[in-house]
Amino acid sequence: MGKTRIGIINVTGYAGVELARLLRQHPEVTLSSVTGRSAAGQRLGEVFPHLAGIDLVIKPELEEVDFAFSALPHRESATEVIPLVTRGVKVVDLSADFRLKDAAEYQRWYGSAHPDPGLLEEAVYGLTELYRPQVAAARLAANPGCYSTGIILALAPAVKAGLIGPQIIVDSKSGVSGAGRTVSLQTHYPEVNEDVSAYALGGHRHLPEIVQELELLAGKSLSVTFVPHLLPMTRGILSTCYAFLVPGKVAAGKKGEDEMRHLYSDFYRDAPFIRIVTAPPHTKHTWGSNFCLIYPAIDHRTGRLIVISCLDNLVKGAAGQAIQNMNLMLGLPEATGLQAQAIYP
Amino acid sequence: MGKTRIGIINVTGYAGVELARLLRQHPEVTLSSVTGRSAAGQRLGEVFPHLAGIDLVIKPELEEVDFAFSALPHRESATEVIPLVTRGVKVVDLSADFRLKDAAEYQRWYGSAHPDPGLLEEAVYGLTELYRPQVAAARLAANPGCYSTGIILALAPAVKAGLIGPQIIVDSKSGVSGAGRTVSLQTHYPEVNEDVSAYALGGHRHLPEIVQELELLAGKSLSVTFVPHLLPMTRGILSTCYAFLVPGKVAAGKKGEDEMRHLYSDFYRDAPFIRIVTAPPHTKHTWGSNFCLIYPAIDHRTGRLIVISCLDNLVKGAAGQAIQNMNLMLGLPEATGLQAQAIYP
Amino acid sequence: MGKTRIGIINVTGYAGVELARLLRQHPEVTLSSVTGRSAAGQRLGEVFPHLAGIDLVIKPELEEVDFAFSALPHRESATEVIPLVTRGVKVVDLSADFRLKDAAEYQRWYGSAHPDPGLLEEAVYGLTELYRPQVAAARLAANPGCYSTGIILALAPAVKAGLIGPQIIVDSKSGVSGAGRTVSLQTHYPEVNEDVSAYALGGHRHLPEIVQELELLAGKSLSVTFVPHLLPMTRGILSTCYAFLVPGKVAAGKKGEDEMRHLYSDFYRDAPFIRIVTAPPHTKHTWGSNFCLIYPAIDHRTGRLIVISCLDNLVKGAAGQAIQNMNLMLGLPEATGLQAQAIYP
Amino acid sequence: MGKTRIGIINVTGYAGVELARLLRQHPEVTLSSVTGRSAAGQRLGEVFPHLAGIDLVIKPELEEVDFAFSALPHRESATEVIPLVTRGVKVVDLSADFRLKDAAEYQRWYGSAHPDPGLLEEAVYGLTELYRPQVAAARLAANPGCYSTGIILALAPAVKAGLIGPQIIVDSKSGVSGAGRTVSLQTHYPEVNEDVSAYALGGHRHLPEIVQELELLAGKSLSVTFVPHLLPMTRGILSTCYAFLVPGKVAAGKKGEDEMRHLYSDFYRDAPFIRIVTAPPHTKHTWGSNFCLIYPAIDHRTGRLIVISCLDNLVKGAAGQAIQNMNLMLGLPEATGLQAQAIYP
């Protein structure tokens, strides 16, 4: 019997091609069908020369597969995903269409009614480290946003342990590939190079999923400010998270930092892609890999917790985590095909 | 009678060469003496080809001048500056040696006793917009740190007006030139390119001057967290400042934002280099210029004030502001020689 | 009587905004009218925050001016320029529409018949250093292409002196702003960052003007290969020109290099923006300035001349040279308003 | 019996860490010993966080291994390599110490007498595609320079076939990691970012090995000019090679290009890491991979051959090719452990 056949819907965006790259080196599955409207009819390697080793033609529609990834934009993705799941093909959806548990919240942030609130409820939020057993049993996993992944992973241990108050501020810095492959003046080289700016101060769409997940962990309501920034680099997200320590819960001085680090290490003791580090991490240390580095620190002067996380937005923040979820959904070891180290420098 | 003769001590760092560039296009003064140990004996244009138009030899010691800038590192700077001021030469010191009013605080952050606490007390903190008359009357102005300039300017109006509580978080993003011209692995191209990281979580040396100035404005004690980040770009600092609005002081919705913007515009109405902007600013909009752009915004969901400022760390954050101070100290219009627009893209 | 009123047709591209920036600091003229279709009705400073200091509204049509720059694309430019010149307004055209003396050559490279071959013949090729008196007398100057400027300046002295044979190879490296402000996948940040590639191997449109000008200088036909490359930087063009020394004309060893440098220095002795340098130049040494640095070297092993030139493609390669031409056409000193040094680092 | 034990001498440079990264994912060997003076005593993952998955301590001296790589600088490398080879450990030397067949040429370019001319003569030039059987039989392979690899691969088919004359010009563009991990002002971020420059016009040390290999293929003497350029990117070398077609040997027009492409494809038909491409290649298409892309084109106007090659200087230009050679020397399939696709974008 052959390997599990995998399909990628909309292979032509950055998450899609990254899925193709990673699946090619996956030992247990075979990429058998890729779709993409604009490039339909072309060989994958013609459009993406770095994938010349993959012998597939981009098709307008998905062929018969055992498992599918959707890398379509939101709304379009649900339209493709719903019938697939219905007819028994397991799916990891990289869009935002199945991330928010509350259909009203979906409508508020995405501007249209959700097409299938039942499936929305059933879908598992695919932050693998938090939902391992649920993902393993899921028909549909909603792959988290790239910002959301790093931020929730950074704050989950402290929130879960009740060490911080409800006031949380997250300042994120992202490379440009997170904005996708569609051209725009904001991502035109001369505009981004030698520049940094904040955006989406009115509310970024990853905020509601961050709040949803952190409040589930906290068991209470939180007050989260999230400001993303665009940086002159291609890959990488670094999030600096600021919170207020509940007085008396963490020791003073170095002892407090050790406690915090042990709490984090313990929380992620079974997570193959999380590294709790002892110095401020660099996005470069995750480049091209599925790792998320987390550095919890304490600002003793002010009694605040500062947690910095970083990851490659196209791997752990998108395609890598999607495959991590696929592994669980197919009954494979979580890290299969994803063990590559980061490429430095 | 000739133009005022200006000297630069330690012209060979990035702040020093930027002073030379800007002074050359200044209509009222003439750069007449530049020093630098390693490059002594060479023409300025040999070491810095972009300054080929300046006909000066780098000397080991300063020649007779009417006004001097010191671009030496801290401690070394005080050693050169004190005798100059004593013999009547006005000085702008770009180092940290005269920024902190409290000599004990200086010792705590810089590791040695201050060599002249009396002059430390006399020196004016050269954040021009806040200390215009004091600078005009000063013998010695202590040019603020590059981070400090943008952060204090961003928060001063709200702090002064009592609109925010004492809890303040500042997340800054800096280009690499702020780290100076001395080579290090941290600023080696392959290490910084395609990377972002936080540093100095234990306390950056610009923190005490930020706290000193904001507390003076607030008239009370503040609790400030400051985390700087290094970005893959040469020039520019963007600071994102988070604070908690005092309830009831600012109107809800758009009205509150208008009030805030008016407060800021009013605070800086006489400041030729401050622009209160209506969209998140880009460091690129200040590249090569002496402008600081400030964007006050309100996160209505959480009742927080977010103020973003940006500037060119080598101009408004160093050499440009130093000349702005010099202009006042020489009785010249504040903006003389500094009106160049930013260079875009 | 007021200052000369200047207009910019199509201010919204990179050459257009750079003209606006430079004209604002020009002491003898005043920018009075700017056009641009997409942004018509907006203030210049709204679209380009770095130009907030210029109080002008972008209009759909040019208002009454004394002198105009056209920064339109080719073909569209001729349509606007011809009636202006006809009714007595002097023009510098930054497009390619009036650069080629031979209307057939224009048709071959630009794909349509030239709309006014008479004016084409009359127009002066605005490489200021080669055509100073002709530009001064011109009604219409055709500003050279950005590549053409650096390449012709690099080779002119050796070609004119008959020191090199007809076989010439030019390898150019350009920043992305040369491709303009119109977005495309080729200039999308993640595609260009951390990448270099050659393009236009079938023949770049700057080739015919390079050949036209070098053959005029040589008085004979030349065989020129020109390959441009796109680099991950915003501004700057560096061209490395390879040619074969005519045997016996240049001394061996260091003496030959000195002779060559003197020939070049002499050729450009009256040129305020050309610097003959003694070490391989960096584009960074010209950033934001109107200078072109030229480094002639001899590969003694092979008897070849290597000349490297560099410039800022938006200043000496476009807007700066256009103003240099305007100065001459208005009877002003050539360097008026253009003396700013490069900004480093 | 265990896997072959591999050692890396001087793991702390960029080639060394890249060897470690690639060897970790190699299925047939195990990295068992790494040396490095400055970092001796530290865990590999402490110094290089991206290698946290490798459990090795950096030692001052190499432990017992079955095969070794030397990533030391030239001269130091020979000192370590000679005794290793003598006592029967096969070695790939990444330095320049065993590349030049002629000891006098070594002395001319590297300034000291070669310590073991006999071993120099025996060593195989490790450009795998040209010396496959010799490498397989070698005790010592001299890994080619990063520039040399791309340039020789680009020109070999045309030179071997006698299609081009002896006049060759090579213009190369390199990322900064090629200059190594040792800090210098030339590789200080603010100096390289937004800059391009040529260097080593007096003769780069890769020139003699390029000439040696091309002349062996040509069977006659050649006249090669080679000018390298430093670009603001971390990885990647693109070489643009210009030569003169021998008249009458290649058909005119598209037919000639097809012939040329077939010649190249045929020459490299057994080479798993060479791709003859049909459009100008991008270094980005090779990022992190062991591929070399080659694009032969004809400039019909001038009768010239232009061949563009690109590769990742740390993989095919250093560590990857070294492992490719090791594979052959150990009797493994050439591509073992090296099949990763490039990472894009």
Asked if B212 and B156 touch (Cβ cutoff 8 Å), the reply is: no
Would the CB atoms of B193 and D194 count as touching at under 8 Å?
no
Measure C5 CA to nearest chain A CA, in Å. Answer: 30
Residues of A in contact with D24 (CB under 8 A): 341
Compute the distance between CA of residue D22 and CA of residue D28 in angstroms, rounded to an integer. Answer: 12
The predicted structure's pLDDT at residue C1: 56
Residues of A in contact with D49 (CB under 8 A): 277, 281-282, 285, 293
End-to-end CA distance of chain C: 41
Asked if B129 and B113 touch (Cβ cutoff 8 Å), the reply is: no
**Beta strands at B58-59 and B4-9: parallel, antiparallel or unpaired:** unpaired
Would the CB atoms of C176 and A189 count as touching at under 8 Å?
yes
3-state per-residue secondary structure call for D42-54: CEHHHHCHHHCCC
Best CA proximity match to A10, nearest among A292, A287, A322: A322
Count the Cβ atoms, other than its own, within 10 Å of residue D201: 19
% of chain D residues with pLDDT over 90: 98
User: How large is the average pLDDT for residues A14-38?
Assistant: 97
Compute the distance between CA of residue D178 and CA of residue A345 in angstroms, rounded to an integer. Answer: 11
Would the CB atoms of D229 and C238 count as touching at under 8 Å?
yes
Compute the distance between CA of residue B301 and CA of residue A223 in angstroms, rounded to an integer. Answer: 8
Best CA proximity match to C99, nearest among C322, C324, C334, C314: C322
The predicted structure's pLDDT at residue C96: 97
One-letter amino acid for residue D244 of the chain: F
B1 pLDDT more than 80: no
HSE at residue D27, side-chain half, CA atoms within 13 A, is 10
D269 pLDDT more than 90: yes
Compute the distance between CA of residue A186 and CA of residue A173 in angstroms, rounded to an integer. Answer: 15
User: How large is the average pLDDT for residues B324-341?
Assistant: 98
Cα distances from A194 to residues A133, B230, D193, in angstroms, run 44, 13, 9
Establish whether A310 is a catalytic residue: no
**Beta strands at D237-245 and D304-311: parallel, antiparallel or unpaired:** antiparallel
Best CA proximity match to B149, nearest among B318, B341, B307: B318
Query: Residue A183 is nearest to which of C14, C176, C185, comparing CB atoms?
Result: C185
Q: In what helix (H) or strand (E) does residue D80 lie, and over which residues does it extend?
A: helix D76-86
Cα distances from D74 to residues A16, B138, D98, D115, in angstroms, run 44, 58, 9, 11
C130 pLDDT more than 80: yes
Compute the distance between CA of residue A180 and CA of residue A33 in angstroms, rounded to an integer. Answer: 22
Query: Residue D190 is nearest to which of B177, B185, B194, comparing CB atoms?
Result: B177
Chain Cα centroid distance, residue C185: 25
Query: Residue C198 is nearest to which of D175, D235, D308, comparing CB atoms?
Result: D308
Chain B: list its partners (3+ Cβ pairs within 8 Å).
A, C, D
User: How large is the average pLDDT for residues D83-98?
Assistant: 98
Q: What is the pLDDT of residues B199-248, one digit of tens each?
A: 999 999 999 999 999 999 999 999 999 999 999 999 999 999 999 999 99
Would the CB atoms of B169 and A199 count as touching at under 8 Å?
no
User: How large is the average pLDDT for residues D256-278?
Assistant: 97
- pLDDT, mean over chain A: 97
Predicted confidence band at C37 (pLDDT cuts at 50, 70, 90)? confident
Tokens standing for B112? 């040695």
Mutate to test the interface with C, among A38, A189, A343 (most CBs of C within 10 A): A189
Compute the distance between CA of residue C37 and CA of residue C80 in angstroms, rounded to an integer. Answer: 13
Across chain B, how many H-helices and E-strands are there? 11, 14
Q: In what helix (H) or strand (E) does residue B242 lie, and over which residues does it extend?
A: strand B237-245
Compute the distance between CA of residue A278 and CA of residue A301 in angstroms, rounded to an integer. Answer: 20
Compute the distance between CA of residue C153 and CA of residue A306 in angstroms, rounded to an integer. Answer: 56
| Stated length of chain D | 345
The predicted structure's pLDDT at residue A102: 96
Compute the distance between CA of residue A186 and CA of residue A200 in angstroms, rounded to an integer. Answer: 13
Would the CB atoms of C283 and D203 count as touching at under 8 Å?
no
Q: What angle do CA B322, B327, B332 make, to 5 degrees?
A: 170
From the number of C-beta atoms within 10 Å of its C-beta (0-12, 13-18, 19+), residue C46 rates as middle
3-class state of residue B38 by DSSP: coil
B-D CB pairs within 8 A amount to: 56
Measure A232 CA to nearest chain B CA, in Å. Answer: 6
Contact partners, residue C133, CB within 8 Å, separation at least 6: none
Q: Quickly tell me which residue has 């150019």 as its tokens.
A: C172
Predicted confidence band at A38 (pLDDT cuts at 50, 70, 90)? confident
The predicted structure's pLDDT at residue A1: 56
Q: What is the pLDDT of residues D63-75, one digit of tens each?
A: 999 999 999 999 9
Residues of A in contact with B240 (CB under 8 A): 171, 198, 227, 229
Best CA proximity match to D309, nearest among D276, D271, D265, D343: D276
Residue of D nearest to B235 (CA): D190
Which chain B residues touch D if contact means CB-CB below 8 Å?
A: 14, 175-177, 181, 183-185, 187-190, 192-194, 232-234
- pLDDT, mean over chain D: 97
The predicted structure's pLDDT at residue D37: 86
Q: What is the pLDDT of residues A93-150, one digit of tens each?
A: 999 999 999 999 999 999 999 999 999 999 999 999 999 999 999 999 999 999 999 9
Q: What is the pLDDT of residues D174-218, one digit of tens each?
A: 999 999 999 999 999 999 999 999 999 999 999 999 999 999 999
Residue of B nearest to C292 (CA): B50
Q: Strand pairing partners for C179?
A: none
**Beta strands at A292-299 and A304-311: parallel, antiparallel or unpaired:** antiparallel
End-to-end CA distance of chain D: 41
Q: Quickly tell me which residue has 């020459």 as its tokens.
A: D267
B165 pLDDT more than 60: yes
Residue of A nearest to D280 (CA): A49
A46 pLDDT more than 70: yes
**Beta strands at B29-35 and B4-9: parallel, antiparallel or unpaired:** parallel
Mutate to test the interface with D, among B187, B189, B231 (most CBs of D within 10 A): B189
Q: In what helix (H) or strand (E) does residue B24 lie, and over which residues does it extend?
A: helix B14-24
Asked if C321 and C146 touch (Cβ cutoff 8 Å), the reply is: no
Contact partners, residue D254, CB within 8 Å, separation at least 6: none
Tokens standing for B128? 């021009």
% of chain B residues with pLDDT over 70: 100
CA dihedral C213, C214, C218, C223 (to 10 degrees): -130
Would the CB atoms of C193 and A183 count as touching at under 8 Å?
no
> Phi-psi bin for C58: left (phi > 0), alpha (psi -120 to 50), beta?
beta
Quote helix, strand, coil % in chain D, to nearest 5.
35, 25, 40
Q: What is the pLDDT of residues D277-312, one digit of tens each?
A: 999 999 999 999 999 999 999 999 999 999 999 999
Would the CB atoms of D341 and A177 count as touching at under 8 Å?
no
Best CA proximity match to D19, nearest among D98, D79, D72: D72
Asked if D9 and D307 touch (Cβ cutoff 8 Å), the reply is: no
Measure C336 CA to nearest chain B CA, in Å. Answer: 13
Chain C: list its partners (3+ Cβ pairs within 8 Å).
A, B, D
Compute the distance between CA of residue D338 and CA of residue D325 in angstroms, rounded to an integer. Answer: 11
D1 pLDDT more than 70: no
Helices B146-160, B253-267: inter-axial angle, 10-degree rounding = 120
Which chain A residues touch D if contact means CB-CB below 8 Å?
A: 14, 17, 21, 24-25, 48-53, 177, 181, 193-194, 234-235, 275, 277, 281-282, 284-289, 293, 339-345
Asked if A164 and A244 touch (Cβ cutoff 8 Å), the reply is: yes
Residue of B nearest to D190 (CA): B234
Q: Strand pairing partners for D239?
A: D172, D309
User: How large is the average pLDDT for residues C133-155?
Assistant: 98
Asked if B27 and B58 touch (Cβ cutoff 8 Å), the reply is: no
The predicted structure's pLDDT at residue C119: 97
Measure B277 CA to nearest chain A CA, in Å. Answer: 13
Would the CB atoms of B198 and A304 count as touching at under 8 Å?
no
Would the CB atoms of D340 and A340 count as touching at under 8 Å?
yes
Q: What is the pLDDT of residues A135-192, one digit of tens each?
A: 999 999 999 999 999 999 999 999 999 999 999 999 999 999 999 999 999 999 999 9
User: If you ran DSSP here, which 8-state letter would residue B178 be given?
Assistant: G
Measure D193 CA to nearest chain B CA, in Å. Answer: 7
Asked if A188 and B165 touch (Cβ cutoff 8 Å), the reply is: no
User: How large is the average pLDDT for residues A80-90?
Assistant: 97
A-C CB pairs within 8 A amount to: 56
Residues of A in contact with C189 (CB under 8 A): 176, 187-189, 192-193, 232, 234
Would the CB atoms of D183 and B181 count as touching at under 8 Å?
no
Compute the distance between CA of residue C309 and CA of residue C237 in angstroms, rounded to an integer. Answer: 8
The predicted structure's pLDDT at residue C242: 98
Would the CB atoms of C304 and D195 count as touching at under 8 Å?
no
Helices B14-24, B320-329: inter-axial angle, 10-degree rounding = 50
From the number of C-beta atoms within 10 Å of its C-beta (0-12, 13-18, 19+), residue D221 rates as exposed
Predicted confidence band at A273 (pLDDT cuts at 50, 70, 90)? very high
Instruction: Mark out the alpha helices in D268-318 (DSSP H runs).
Output: none
Measure D32 CA to nearest chain C CA, in Å. Answer: 33
HSE at residue D229, side-chain half, CA atoms within 13 A, is 30
Compute the distance between CA of residue B124 and CA of residue B106 in angstroms, rounded to an integer. Answer: 15
Q: What is the pLDDT of residues D37-71, one digit of tens each?
A: 889 999 999 999 999 989 999 999 999 999 999 99
Q: All domains of chain A, ordered by start, with CATH? A: 4-144+317-329 (3.40.50.720), 147-313 (3.30.360.10)
Compute the distance between CA of residue C16 and CA of residue C27 in angstroms, rounded to an integer. Answer: 19
Would the CB atoms of A193 and C188 count as touching at under 8 Å?
no
Q: In what helix (H) or strand (E) does residue C121 lie, and over which residues does it extend?
A: helix C117-122
Would the CB atoms of D192 and B189 count as touching at under 8 Å?
yes
CA dihedral B77, B79, B85, B87 (to 10 degrees): -140
Q: What is the pLDDT of residues B78-97, one digit of tens each?
A: 999 999 999 999 999 999 99
Asked if C301 and D108 touch (Cβ cutoff 8 Å), the reply is: no
Compute the distance between CA of residue B75 and CA of residue B164 in angstroms, rounded to an integer. Answer: 36
Predicted confidence band at B12 (pLDDT cuts at 50, 70, 90)? very high
Q: What is the pLDDT of residues D15-25, one digit of tens each?
A: 999 999 999 99
Tokens standing for D337? 């452990």
Q: Strand pairing partners for D189?
A: none
